[in-house]
């Protein structure tokens, strides 16, 4: 493994433009790990965020077993999309092969997140999808949060399950059976948001079920809510006035 601060002449950072892109992604990935802590989605050293380096067959991911307090842009690990380490003085996350598989097979994905957040992982332990019964879930996920197959850690089996479950599905989150949550996004920030929202709705629906069976939302209404949130909600480009919430 190489030291990312040396910019080796033969490494990815030897090209100034690529080097600048890698440094930006290192900073983003390092910062976003603190959001997992902030929203109480992780404990100890579990969980990880990765991001694709735009326009390159490269990804940046958290080092394995390093405390969140000790994460810095410099100790993030640069890998190719086969999971081979190109720069970094630590071993990469044990989920690196899974992340790399997602990037290889879902070129639209720019960020991947993994957590063992309590409520969502509780659904995963049951092998049960979270039903779409609240509007916030229709907004963000446009459907139930599906369950992916059980797979052992260490190779790309988890990645295969993520891709098989989420390809063609609106949800950016999957509950890998007996394991935890994986989310995807156009970039790492979007994937972190999906992880935060996944835990929020998993908790809400769990609490609802303690009171009785939740009332479902009709499919056309889910479609309408999803379309509005994805295409109208929020600040729009100049000249297009969106509805605010």
Q: What is the pLDDT of residue 242?
A: 39
Q: CA–CA separation, 238 vs 133, rounded Å?
A: 34
The CATH H-level superfamily of 4-231 is Class II aldolase/adducin N-terminal domain (3.40.225.10)
Q: What is the pLDDT of residue 103?
A: 98
Q: What is the pLDDT of residue 243?
A: 34
Q: CA–CA separation, 172 vs 186, rounded Å?
A: 10
Q: Can you list the pairs that 52-57 forms with residues at least 24 positions away whose Cβ atoms lie under 8 Å?
A: 52/25, 52/103, 52/109, 52/110, 52/111, 53/18, 53/21, 53/22, 53/25, 53/78, 54/21, 54/25, 54/110, 55/21, 56/12, 56/18, 56/21, 57/81
User: How many Cα atoms within 13 Å fall on the side-chain side of residue 65?
Assistant: 3
Burial of 136 (0-12, 13-18, 19+ CB in 10 A): middle
Q: What is the pLDDT of residue 234?
A: 85
Average confidence (pLDDT) per 10 residues, the chain, 245 residues: 46 86 98 98 98 97 98 98 96 98 98 98 98 98 98 97 98 98 98 98 98 97 97 73 39
Q: What is the pLDDT of residue 141?
A: 98
């Amino acid at each position: 493994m190489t030291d990312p601060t040396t910019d080796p002449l033969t490494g990815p950072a030897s090209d100034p433009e690529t080097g600048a892109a890698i440094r930006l992604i290192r900073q983003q990935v390092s910062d976003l790990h603190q959001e997992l802590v902030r929203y109480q989605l992780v404990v100890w050293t579990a969980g990880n965020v990765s991001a694709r380096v735009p326009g390159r067959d490269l990804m940046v991911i958290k080092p394995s077993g390093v405390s969140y307090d000790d994460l810095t842009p410099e100790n993030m690990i640069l890998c190719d999309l086969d999971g081979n380490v190109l720069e970094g003085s630590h071993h990469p996350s044990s989920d690196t092969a899974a992340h790399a598989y997602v990037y290889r097979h879902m070129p639209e994905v720019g960020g991947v997140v993994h957590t063992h957040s309590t409520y969502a992982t509780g659904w995963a332990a049951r092998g049960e999808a979270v039903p779409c019964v609240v509007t916030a879930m229709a907004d963000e996920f446009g459907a139930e949060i599906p369950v992916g197959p059980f797979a052992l850690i260490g190779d790309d089996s988890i990645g295969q399950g993520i891709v098989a479950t989420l390809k063609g599905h609106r949800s950016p989150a999957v509950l890998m059976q007996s394991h935890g949550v994986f989310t995807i996004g156009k970039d790492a920030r979007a994937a972190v948001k999906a992880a935060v929202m996944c835990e929020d709705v998993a908790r809400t629906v769990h609490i609802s079920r303690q009171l009785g069976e939740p009332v479902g939302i009709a499919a056309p209404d889910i479609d309408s809510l999803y379309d509005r949130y994805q295409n109208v909600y929020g600040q729009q480009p100049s000249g297009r006035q969106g509805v605010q919430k």
